[in-house]
Structure formats: C-alpha cells, structure tokens
C-alpha cells in the first residue's frame, strides 16, 4: 500500500500532447534529458511529481507561468520524453536527478535557479537546494511532501477518509482513489471522468527506487536545508492530503512563507474557480 499511495502523491488530471518547444541536454553522466519551455522573462524551473509521473498534468501551471516568465519543465528520468534504456538504481537516484537539474542550470547559464516543485517535485527541489544552496534563488513548493517521510504517516488516511464505497470497486487503484485528492468531490469526479489514467505514469520501477533513496538521505537533507538562507514559499490546499507537510517544511526552513488555498486539495488548479484563482494569485505573488 505504501508504494501505491506514495505513487499517487502528485498525479495528473488534464492531458494534452507534449509541447513542441523542446530540446535535449546532456547530464553529467551523458544521459539525454528532455527540456521544454515557452514564454519570456525570468526563467523558472517547474518540476512534476510522482516519483515517476509524466509532466503533462502540470501544463495548466506551465501555461500560466509562460505569460510572465520563461517557463521551463525538466522531464525527469524515465518520464515524458526522457526515456531511459534501463530503470535501475545505477541510472536513477537522487544523485542523478539532482545532477540533471544542475546540468540544466549550467545549460541556461544561470547563477541561481528559481525552482517550482509540485508534490514530489517539491521534494526533489528541496534535495537540490540541500546540496546546492548557493545556486537556489527561490523555492516555491506546491503541495509538496516534507523534507522527511513523516507525511506518509497520515497521507493515505487523509485520502481514504474521503472516498465512498463505490469508489473502491472495480477500478485500478489510482483511478479509484482519485476523488480523495480533492476538497470538492464534484471537481474530483469531473477530473476523473476526463483523465486518461493509462498515460499518467512514466517507465515502471521509478517510484520504489526514488522513495527509498529519499528516505535514506533524509538526515543529511534536513541538516543541509537548515543552512539555506534564500526565499521559500509553500502553497498548499487547506484540505491537501499531505496534511502538516507545510509546517514540517517551515520547521526546517524557518523563513518559508506559508500560503493556504481555501477549499482545496492536492490540485488547486483543478478545484472550483475560487480555489483556482487563489492558487494562481499566490503563485504570482511568490515570483515577484
């Protein structure tokens, strides 16, 4: 159950074809990492969740950011168009994921990055920041898990408590629990009806590798994050199943500013209009 639940931490809802403005960069180990971007202005790096989910579910955020910024998505290893010949602990680890981000920073010729991470993407952003604090201008964490694994103690309970008996009958695990990520059930059911769940996940095997590695490096990550002095913003729905994660982040990064979206679960941009509006306003203000 742990694997299933964690894999659902950052899921997608609305799909369209991948953007056409893309290119590959070489990471430190010569892996081809796919990057897509659009818009102009100050660059922001948007990281999707999972671990192991294709990034197209965050396109609504990507599109919105491109109106005012150079909006950039890094397709993490084994997801989207970054296809790996083999999924194992040699080719995939926090080390390689972090170095992919560093390769992007070098490619963009930026002294510092603005990292916007949704759910697992926020956790990966914190890992990068813990290793390269001087190369991070700003962290913007959207419904992120915490620097530790503590949120898993209540994450699945928060989802399951919102489900109806009929949700858990006759469907795949992800599809069946999808409404549990939402505050507004009608929004969750509408999203469920329009989501192609067969296209949500990247290459198999990523989740276990990355979850275990994140847990193994917890102590060092937390210690190093306490030294980060840059700006940090946490945007989270009041009813997000990640629960107290925002406060756990602030306990490690005291300068982090917390913003809570009213009547919203894990995907504020898919909730009712009032939540969507508040979410994007908070995101806009965090980038000023």
Question: Collapsing DSSP states into helix, strand and coil, what is residue 60?
Answer: helix
Segment 166-197, tens digit of pLDDT: 888 766 677 889 899 999 999 999 999 998 87
pLDDT value of position 8: 40
Average the pLDDT over each of 193-197, 201-205, 248-252, 257-261 and give the range with the smallest value.
Answer: 193-197
What letter would DSSP give residue 1? Answer: -
Percent pLDDT > 70 in the chain is 92
Count of the separate structural domains present in the chain: 1
**How far is 271 from 253, CA to CA, in rounded Å?**
28
Average the pLDDT over each of 3-17, 36-50, 85-99, 172-186 and give the range with the smallest value.
Answer: 3-17
Question: In what helix (H) or strand (E) does residue 116 lie, and over which residues does it extend?
Answer: strand 113-118
**How far is 40 from 43, CA to CA, in rounded Å?**
8
Q: From the centroid of its chain, how far is CA 286?
A: 17
Alpha helices of the chain — where are they, by DSSP H? 2-7, 59-65, 94-108, 120-131, 152-160, 173-177, 185-194, 206-216, 218-225, 245-252, 273-286
Six-digit token string for 167 = 């949700």
pLDDT over 80 (residue 213): yes
Segment 108-145, tens digit of pLDDT: 999 999 999 999 999 999 999 999 999 999 999 999 99
List Cα–Cα distances, 81 to 12, 74, 225, in angstroms: 16, 10, 31
Percent pLDDT > 90 in the chain is 82
Q: Which residue range is the domain that position 240 belongs to?
A: 2-286
Q: What is the CATH number of the domain that holds 155?
A: 3.40.50.1820
Largest Cα–Cα distance of the chain, in whole Å? 52
């Amino acid at each position: 159950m742990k694997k299933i639940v964690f894999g659902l931490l950052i899921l997608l809802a609305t799909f369209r074809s991948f953007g056409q403005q893309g290119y590959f960069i070489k990471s430190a180990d010569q892996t081809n990492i796919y990057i897509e971007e659009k818009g102009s202005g100050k660059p922001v790096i948007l990281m999707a969740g999972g671990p192991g989910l294709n990034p197209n579910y965050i396109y609504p955020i990507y599109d919105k950011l491109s109106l005012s910024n150079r909006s950039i998505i890094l397709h993490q290893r084994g997801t989207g168009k970054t296809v790996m010949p083999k999924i194992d602990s040699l080719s995939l680890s926090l080390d390689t994921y972090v170095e992919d981000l560093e390769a992007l920073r070098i490619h963009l010729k930026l002294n510092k990055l603005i990292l916007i991470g949704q759910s697992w993407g926020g956790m990966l952003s914190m890992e990068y920041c813990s290793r390269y604090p001087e190369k991070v201008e700003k962290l913007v964490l959207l419904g992120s898990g915490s620097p530790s694994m503590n949120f898993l103690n209540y994450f699945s309970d928060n989802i399951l408590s919102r489900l109806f008996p009929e949700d858990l009958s006759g469907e795949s695990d992800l599809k069946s629990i999808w409404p549990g990520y939402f505050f507004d059930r009608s929004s969750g059911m509408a999203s469920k009806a329009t989501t192609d769940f067969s296209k949500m996940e990247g290459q198999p095997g990523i989740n276990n590798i990355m979850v275990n590695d994140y847990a193994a490096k917890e102590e060092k990550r937390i210690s190093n994050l306490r030294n980060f002095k840059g700006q940090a913003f946490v945007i989270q729905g009041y009813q997000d199943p990640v629960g107290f994660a925002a406060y756990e982040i602030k306990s490690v990064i005291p300068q982090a500013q917390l913003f809570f979206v009213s009547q919203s679960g894990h995907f504020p941009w898919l909730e009712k209009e009032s939540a969507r509006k508040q979410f994007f306003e908070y995101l806009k203000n965090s980038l000023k």
